Structure 1
Amino acid sequence: MTFSYSDTKEFSPEELEELFLSVQWESGRHPERLAKALLRYGSVFSAWEGGKLAGLAAAMDDGAMTAYVHYLLVHPRCQGRGIGSRLLDLCKKHYAGYLCVVLTSYREGVPFYERNGFIPDRTQEAMRFTPPSSGETTL
């Protein structure tokens, strides 16, 4: 079957839940929040197999200089068929005039990103902060 590609930010929570949980990403446990969040991304590209969401790439940007590819995922039933590379190409074309397109990757994904023109940047470390779930803030 062939794949079609779309430039949309609107997805049903069920579509997102199925895709994200297929690759065991925690975001899939919050499909309503995920659908709401994607509406605010700079760009979102998706791959479809028939009427099923097969893959997604979502990037945040500052509107002029830097874009950050936050999500790139392909359903396991569709992996190995060029979908991830095509989604990255759509991101790279969309942000062609920017100074930098960045992303983070698990170690296993580094060869894939290198094949797609990305270069590991060993001068920086990814950092993450997870706010307390109680909703309390400390000053």
Structure 2
Amino acid sequence: MSQISYQTEAAVTAEELSQVFKASGIKRPVDDLGRLDAMIKHADLLYSAWDGDKLIGVARAITDYSYCCYLSDLAVDADYHAKGIGKHLVEMVGEHIGEEVALILLSSPTAMGYYPKIGFEKIENGYIIKRKS
């Protein structure tokens, strides 16, 4: 493992995103590269963590830059867990959006214990219309 580098404008391919999603355990459409490519292209923010030329972490967000920011993906390769990578990616997003913008996310049940450790508060007033596919 070499020095971890963080990028704000790195070109991430759908294949790289698929690999980091698979390695992290996050549930995403990892075999639908067209959909992953659209997820990359339409994100407002994409921060990435790299071990050399290997993508090992990603934070992807949608925001209005004024009131709210939805952290749609936070994924770190399981081989790199507990090294502060996810926390650093979230901090990078937070620095970019500033103090007037709320950072919100939906968590998988397995990650519910993680987010309070990196500064998130649990909220009870959310609703969802689930995707059909």
TM-score bracket, shorter-length normalisation: 0.7 to 0.9
User: Which consecutive unaligned segments of at least 5 residues does structure 2 have?
Assistant: none
Match of 1:135 in 2: none
Q: Which runs of 5+ in 1 are unaligned?
A: 132-139
Which residue identity lines up with residue 73 of structure 1 in the other structure? Answer: A
User: Percent identity between the aligned chains?
Assistant: 24
Change (3 A) 1:113 1:24: closer
Return 45-54 or 58-67, whichever deviates more: 58-67
List structure 1 segments (4+ residues) > 6 angstroms apart after TM superposition: none
Once the two structures are superposed, the pairs formed by residues 74-93 of structure 1 within 5 Å of their partners are 74-93=76-95
Letter in 2 for 1:116: I
Structure 1 length normalisation: TM-score?
0.84
Residue aligning to 2:125: 123
- Deviation for aligned residue 1:4: 0.1
Give the root-mean-square deviation of aligned CA atoms.
1.8
The answer to whether the Cα contact below 8 Å between 2:6 and 2:47 also exists between their aligned partners in 1 is yes
1:9–1:43 contact (8 Å) kept in structure 2: no
Count, aligned residues: 131
2:42 is paired with a residue of what secondary structure?
Answer: coil
Q: TM-score, normalised by structure 2?
A: 0.87
Offset at residue 115 of structure 1 (A): 1.4
Higher Rg: 1
What residue is the counterpart of 2:9 in the other structure? 8
Q: Is the 8 A contact 2:58 2:75 kept in 1?
A: yes
What are the superposed Cα offsets for residues 6-62 of structure 1, whole Å, 9 maximum, x if unpaired? 012622222122111222533211123212321221111000001100000001012
Paired position in structure 2 for 1:20 = 21
1:71-117 deviation digits (Å, cap 9, x = unpaired) = 00001111111111111111111111433110011233222211111
